[in-house]
Amino acid sequence: MPPVTQALIIVNVAVYLLQMMGGMPLFAWFALWPPTSGPSAGADFQLWQLVTYSFLHSPNNIAHIFFNMFALYMFGSDIERLFGPRFYLAYYFVSVVSAAICHLVVTAFMGADPAPMVGASGGVYGLLLAYGIYFPNRQLMLLIPPIPMRARTFVIVFAVLELVLGVTGTAAGVAHFAHLGGMLGGYLMIRYRRGFRR
């Protein structure tokens, strides 16, 4: 496993174990709190939360971190080898930050309940987009249902699904627009990379 992908997985798992121990109020300090949440909610928005939320996961839902880390390993390894560690790290965190900003803007516009966001999904969706662009014909298998499809088709299906679920408000508790925001940040970084190489 490439070093940056490995380090990201190790840090995420270590933070999750700290959350499970419950010795530190990590959720209150480092989850992404909307600016409208206010101190009455026990925490408030801070600038660092645009990054730190991505290292936290739902403590009572092990599937949350498992699938995020599995996807980080599956897509991140090849993308890191392609981009190199420095650009890969920048790409990942731009996706994380753009996911956070998109989530805050859209939820404020839609008047959604002010709730904190956690999870590495924004960065993972950015990696998913890069995988679909650079390895479009690789075969991937959905877990449920087990349907094989090309990586490009896989990315399009997930993007459309996230948009539909986000607009309709289906699957409450999932930050669908953060996933799309991660893809947007990844797309902008890919455009930057291609322009820089030219």
Higher pLDDT, 121 or 171: 121
**pLDDT above 80: residue 192:** yes
What pTM did the predictor assign?
Answer: 0.89
pLDDT tens figures, 14-59? 999 988 887 567 888 899 988 865 554 446 888 899 999 999 998 8
Return d(Cα 164, Cα 169) in angstroms, integer: 8
Q: For position 42, what pLDDT does the model report? A: 47
**Which residues are 148's β-sheet partners?**
141
Q: For position 44, what pLDDT does the model report? A: 80
Report DSSP letters for 95-151, one per residue. Answer: HHHHHHHHHHHHHHHHT-----B--SHHHHHHHHHHHHHHSTT-EEE-SSS--EEEH
pLDDT tens figures, 114-146? 678 899 999 999 999 999 999 999 988 776 678
Q: For position 175, what pLDDT does the model report? A: 85
**pLDDT above 60: residue 4:** yes
Q: For position 51, what pLDDT does the model report? A: 95
pLDDT tens figures, 48-106? 999 999 999 988 888 889 999 999 999 999 999 999 999 999 999 999 999 999 999 98
Question: Average pLDDT of 163-187?
Answer: 84
Report DSSP letters for 38-82, one per residue. Answer: -GGGT----TTHHHHGGG---TT-HHHHHHHHHHHHHHHHHHHHH
All domains of the chain, ordered by start, with CATH? 3-197 (1.20.1540.10)
pLDDT tens figures, 139-168? 887 766 788 889 999 899 889 988 888 877
